[in-house]
Structure formats: structure tokens, C-alpha cells
Amino acid sequence: AQTVTQSQPEMSVQEAETVTLSCTYDTSESDYYLFWYKQPPSRQMILVIRQEAYKQQNATENRFSVNFQKAAKSFSLKISDSQLGDAAMYFCARPATSGTYKYIFGTGTRLKVLA
């Protein structure tokens, strides 16, 4: 089965604090990409960060970083120094390797940032 699971429908974080969003996935592939996308309310879905599975080093983009555990098929997103503009829906995703899908998306985690 091709699944991506985000077990936290909603999370809250205080401004300037750190928050971690969880994602687990299923795959039989050894070489693949994983993605976190951000979708602010009524705004465009943008790519936050990408992890290449063959790279052991965790990807980092400014305040965003991942904790990639390949054996555990876990791919969490850490947001440091949270800002009000980080409030959004966050989707974890990976390309599908079979079937009638392009990407397999998680159900999303809504992040609220408290001032």
C-alpha cells in the first residue's frame, strides 16, 4: 500500500517557539524523494522542503528542517522560531511509484501560531 500518514490534525505553537509536525509513510523503494508543502489559508501551496532518501543528512531550509528516519519511514518537519506567517496547513507527500496517482499526500496538519 502507498500511504502517507499525518497523525496530528492540528497543532499550536507560541510565536518564537519550535514545533515538530509528524509524518510517516510506506514505500518499498530505496531511492525516493519526500516533501513538505505549506498551504496558507486561501493561498498557494508552496514547497517548504525536500528530502532525498539516499542522503543521510537531514534537509534544512532556513528555519525549517526535517528529521528523516529512513528505516522507521518517518519524516517530521521542525519549524524553529515560529512566526505568525507560518500559520498554514502543512502536507507531507511523496511521489507515487505505482497505481493511478502522481503524489501520495497526507491529510495535513493545521498549524496555528499564537502571538
Partner 1 sequence: KAGVTQTPRYLIKTRGQQVTLSCSPISGHRSVSWYQQTPGQGLQFLFEYFSETQRNKGNFPGRFSGRQFSNSRSEMNVSTLELGDSALYLCASSAGAFGQRNQETQYFGPGTRLLVL
Of residues 52 and 61, the one with the C-beta less far from partner 1: 52
Amino acid identity of residue 86, one-letter, is D
From residue 10, how far is each of 2, 63, 69, 100 by CA, in Å? Answer: 23, 20, 23, 29
Closest contact distance (angstroms) between CB of 73 and partner 1 is: 14
Report the C-alpha gap between 27 and 48 in whole angstroms. Answer: 22
Instruction: Give me the least distance between CB of 19 and partner 1, in Å please.
Output: 22
Q: Counting contacts by CB under 8 A, is residue 38 touching partner 1?
A: no
> Based on CB atoms, which residue is closest to partner 1, 16 or 47?
47
